[in-house]
Amino acid sequence: MSIETIATRPIDGQKPGTSGLRKQTAVFQGPHFLENFVQSIWAGIGGAAGKTLVLGGDGRYFNAEAAQVVLRMAAAEGVAKVIVGQNALLSTPAASHLIRKRGTDGGIILSASHNPGGPDGDFGVKFNTPNGGPAPESVTTAIFEATKTLTEYRILTAQDVDLGTPGTLALGDMKVEVVDPVADYALLMEQIFDFDALRALFAGGFRLRFDAMHAVTGPYAKAILEDRLGAPAGSVVNGTPLPDFGKGHPDPNPIWAKTLVDEMMSRDAPDFGAASDGDGDRNMIMGRGIYVTPSDSLAALAANASLIPAYAGGLKGVARSMPTSRALDRVAADMGLDCYETPTGWKFFGNLLDSGRITLCGEESAGTGSDHVREKDGLWAVLAWLNILAKRDMPVKALMEDHWARFGRNYYSRHDYEGVDATIANAIMDDLRTRLPDLPGQEVNGLTIEAADEFAYDDPVDGSRTEAQGLRIDLTGGARIVLRLSGTGTVGATIRVYLEKVDTQVLDRDAQDALADVVAAAESLTGLRVKTGRAAPDVIT
Ligand code: G16
């Protein structure tokens, strides 16, 4: 085995987005693309020699090959040890846990999350820091800077490492420890939740449908829900990870998990339905006859957290990303908890969690989590709901109706316009941004604008400031419109319009009906449909 030094040159477009670097798979497979980025990670984290890292991915097409490249480059760089999930699989939350549990210097996760996989799909790479969380902006900026000046990378010439069996191997001077991807994570869940209560729930005939969407959560869900908790075999569907996710779009929302939604809305629906995404950090929660929005789910978890053993002592505080509905704020105000508002991206919760300011946090983009790891965690959210349902002994629908009766209801929806020409998308944002100072006091479609600004975040822990995080317009009565461009897409631009309205009286309306005037106001303000030539959003969640 020898270390080869390969001459290369900077490749454009290696700037990490909301969560790592995501590109079309073919781009990642292009000459030197993956290698350049991995070498830049080593540079961005101040060198990798002597370090111990975790490695795993969501099993999508190119996962196995990319893992071998990372291992050979780590060995060439003098990394002491890599702890890798069997067959190069690790869900994002399990990777976060492993980094923390084993006290490593961080880890590399191979995933494009909820983006489709396959030769025509997407691939991604992200680095997580020693706290288990996504690298903060300071680190991703250092990585990006390194991509711009790279002239060579190092890689070991070697056969592929056999990642099929747990155990420790050598690759040059580096140790490779292959671990069961599920075992440590399952143990952690057992420490957080009341597994006895959950076993009793299933023993009593409670019916669950968990759609793993042919992505990485399948083995975790089967091991925990079916094997340990006794949910009947077959409760977990699409449970075998496939490189192309069965040609599906592993994004747990009513559009892409429609089969589950249809089942949950049917006469013979199970008691509880849930789905997770490509890398297992997102979740969708449903009850019989009800879809719970991620924002409402976060609020309900906060309100009921004391029923879960790990949080029985109370929450330190809570946080949500800015576009997430303010249902959480109403719970926090009632419970006397601090509630933080951060930019989109789980990395912004890291400092709040590490400093003990918050216990629970979440995002409208189907992410919920706590201080147990430093990533959002799909299966954790499912277990949290099951734990709460077991204790409250009521259906999901009744629980949400009770929640709204107590706190009021934040009707909420996100309208996405995908694959928009980037120039048009930027022009729409620029135009609205310029008009923001003049908007307060104006009336639009019968709604008065109370405030309008571009969100900037001052991190209370490290004092860093992050600007240009979305345009927000507050309307009378707690209604709100937020606009931002997605940072996870790989083709053109995706414009996200987040719509919200509070009602404390009428609690059972269809969300789109309830929000109709806010939707109309958003169109009047932006002219989005006219400017993009779209009659309607591509995706409504
Ligand atoms: C990622 C981030 C999330 C973020 C989401 C949406 O999720 O981890 O924090 O909310 O993207 O980002 P955007 O609106 O910029 O597309 P995931 O599940 O894709 O890693």
Q: Specify the pLDDT at position 510.
A: 94
Q: Specify the pLDDT at position 419.
A: 93
Q: Indicate the domain borders of the chain.
A: 2-180, 185-407, 410-540
Radius of gyration of the chain (CA): 23
The span from the CA of 451 to the CA of 437, in Å, is 9
* Contacts of the segment 10-14: beta carbons below 8 A, 24+ positions apart: 10/36, 10/147, 10/148, 10/149, 10/150, 11/36, 11/147, 14/40, 14/144, 14/147
Residue 488 Cβ inside 6 Å of ligand 1? The answer reads: yes
Residue 236 DSSP one-character state: E
Which residue is catalytic, options 40, 91, 96, 113? 113
Q: Cα dihedral sign for 487, 488, 494, 499?
A: negative
Residue 96 Cβ inside 6 Å of ligand 1? The answer reads: no
Other residues' Cβ atoms within 10 Å of the Cβ of residue 341: 17
Residue 126 Cβ inside 6 Å of ligand 1? The answer reads: no
Q: Specify the pLDDT at position 517.
A: 95
Q: What is the distance in A from the centroid of ligand 1 to the CA of 366?
A: 9
Residue bearing the CA closest to ligand 1, atom 9: 345
Residue 136 DSSP one-character state: P
Q: What is the distance in A from the centroid of ligand 1 to the CA of 498?
A: 14
The span from the CA of 209 to the CA of 148, in Å, is 47
> What CATH number was assigned to the domain covering residues 2-180?
3.40.120.10
User: Counting every residue, how long is the chain?
Assistant: 541
254, 248 Cβ separation under 8 angstroms:
no
Fold of 185-407: Alpha-D-Glucose-1,6-Bisphosphate; Chain A, domain 3 (3.40.120)
Is 113 tagged catalytic?
yes
| pLDDT averaged over 10-residue windows placed end to end, the chain, 541 residues | 94 91 96 98 97 98 98 98 98 98 98 94 97 94 97 97 97 97 98 98 98 97 98 97 93 92 96 97 97 97 98 97 98 98 95 98 97 98 98 97 98 96 96 97 95 97 95 95 89 94 94 96 95 92 89
19, 92 Cβ separation under 8 angstroms:
no
Q: Specify the pLDDT at position 255.
A: 87
126, 287 Cβ separation under 8 angstroms:
no
Q: Specify the pLDDT at position 38.
A: 98
Question: β-strand 122-128 against 107-110: which pairing, if any?
Answer: antiparallel
Residue 485 Cβ inside 6 Å of ligand 1? The answer reads: no
Q: Specify the pLDDT at position 492.
A: 86
Atom of ligand 1 nearest to the CA of 281: 18
Q: Specify the pLDDT at position 18.
A: 80
305, 317 Cβ separation under 8 angstroms:
no
Q: What is the distance in A from the centroid of ligand 1 to the CA of 367?
A: 8
What are the backbone dihedrals phi and psi of residue 173, each rounded to the nearest 5 degrees, phi first? -90, 0
Q: Specify the pLDDT at position 17.
A: 86
Q: Cα dihedral sign for 315, 317, 319, 325?
A: positive
For 410-540, the fitting CATH number among 3.20.20.70, 1.10.3210.10, 3.30.310.50, 3.40.50.261 is 3.30.310.50
Ligand 1 probe mutation, 123, 251, 282, 346, most atoms within 8 A of CB: 346
User: In the beta sheet, which residues pair with residue 152?
Assistant: 7
Residue 29 Cβ inside 6 Å of ligand 1? The answer reads: no
Domain pair 2-180 / 185-407, same fold: yes
Q: 75 by DSSP, 3-state: which? A: helix
